[in-house]
Structure 1
Amino acid sequence: MKSIPLSIFLASVILGISFIIGCILLTTQERNTELTQAAEQEVLKDKALMTIQKTAEYLSMTEEQVMSIIKAEQGSFTVSGFFDGRMFPFIKVQDNFFVSRVELDLWVQEASASHRRYINGQMQ
């Protein structure tokens, strides 16, 4: 049996150790990325107010659709002087709209239960 030169043996050991360390680092980095994304979602989940963009994402709608609902409900309220049911839960600060996450969940339940329809910026 031939003996392996010491330099080839050491190079093989170093290469093997490097490969194992590289795999560990990549796995750790992937886990850290997943944990960071989960933490960001938790932080957003705990916020009381969402922007129109975040609201649209939360509802799986476009920002235009969300604004159309707000305008339709406001228009209906302006015309009749009252609104039957729960209105879309927003506040306006300067030119920015913010939506309460808790109230939004309640609004979704009620709007779904009453089968509300919003067509061309108006409630049907």
Structure 2
Amino acid sequence: MKNQYTILGAALILGLCLVASSFVIGDRLRAGYELQQQTPTGAQSEAQSEDHPLMTLAETAQFLRLSEDQVKNIMKAENAMLRNDGPFEGAKLPYLRIDNKFLFNKQQLTVWILAASQEHRVYLGEKLAGK
């Protein structure tokens, strides 16, 4: 009989521990969810964009400290060189076009910046000067 009370007591204690731990875990999960809801959406998307290898036109313009129109003009100037003079010998601005959306590879963009600055390229409007 004494053994049965011991087992019953242990089961009761175990049950109380499970209930108490579920309240503690629930509170912590709820607090984490509330903290996540308080984080500005812009901060979340900014953190995600830093990890993503592709950037939008707006992100690329900000990365290069240029306007979106200036980035488009660089793309037009390099494409005009290809059409008019044949092969473009330098590294082109790395982008993908999906429908009407331009995406830029962040790592290749860094390589392009190095090449363009080493070659002392000059872009004037929609023209690549000196080529």
State the TM-score, normalizing by the size of structure 1: 0.67
Q: 1:53-103 CA deviation, whole Å, 9 max, x = no partner?
A: 110011111000000000000000111120111100011011111110010
Aligned to 2:103: 98
Aligned to 1:26: none
Q: Which residue of 115, 119, 122 maps to 2:124?
A: 119
Residue 71 of structure 1 aligns with an amino acid whose one-letter code is K
Aligned to 1:60: 65
Shift of 1:45: 1.5
Instruction: Tell me, in whole angstroms, the C-alpha distance in 1 between the residues paired with 2:71 and 2:119.
Output: 18
Residue 118 of structure 1 aligns with an amino acid whose one-letter code is Y
Q: Which residue of 76, 88, 91 maps to 2:93?
A: 88
Aligned to 1:45: 50
Aligned to 1:109: 114
Aligned to 2:19: none
Aligned to 1:70: 75
Shift of 1:33: 5.4
Residue 106 of structure 1 aligns with an amino acid whose one-letter code is V
Instruction: Tell me, in whole angstroms, the C-alpha distance in 1 between the residues paired with 2:101 and 2:45.
Output: 23
Shift of 1:40: 4.4
List runs of 5+ in structure 1 lacking aligned partners: 1-28
- SS state of the match for residue 66, structure 2? coil
List runs of 5+ in structure 2 lacking aligned partners: 1-34
Q: How many residues align?
A: 92
Structure 1 stretches of at least 4 aligned residues deviating more than 6 Å after TM superposition: none
- SS state of the match for residue 104, structure 2? strand
Residue 124 of structure 2 aligns with an amino acid whose one-letter code is I
Instruction: Tell me, in whole angstroms, the C-alpha distance in 2 between the residues paired with 1:66 and 1:95.
Output: 15
> Pairwise CA RMSD of aligned residues?
1.9
Instruction: Tell me, in whole angstroms, the C-alpha distance in 2 between the residues paired with 1:101 and 1:85.
Output: 18
Shift of 1:42: 3.4
Q: Share of identical aligned residues, percent? A: 29
- SS state of the match for residue 50, structure 2? helix
Larger Rg: 2
Instruction: Tell me, in whole angstroms, the C-alpha distance in 2 between the residues paired with 1:58 and 1:33.
Output: 24
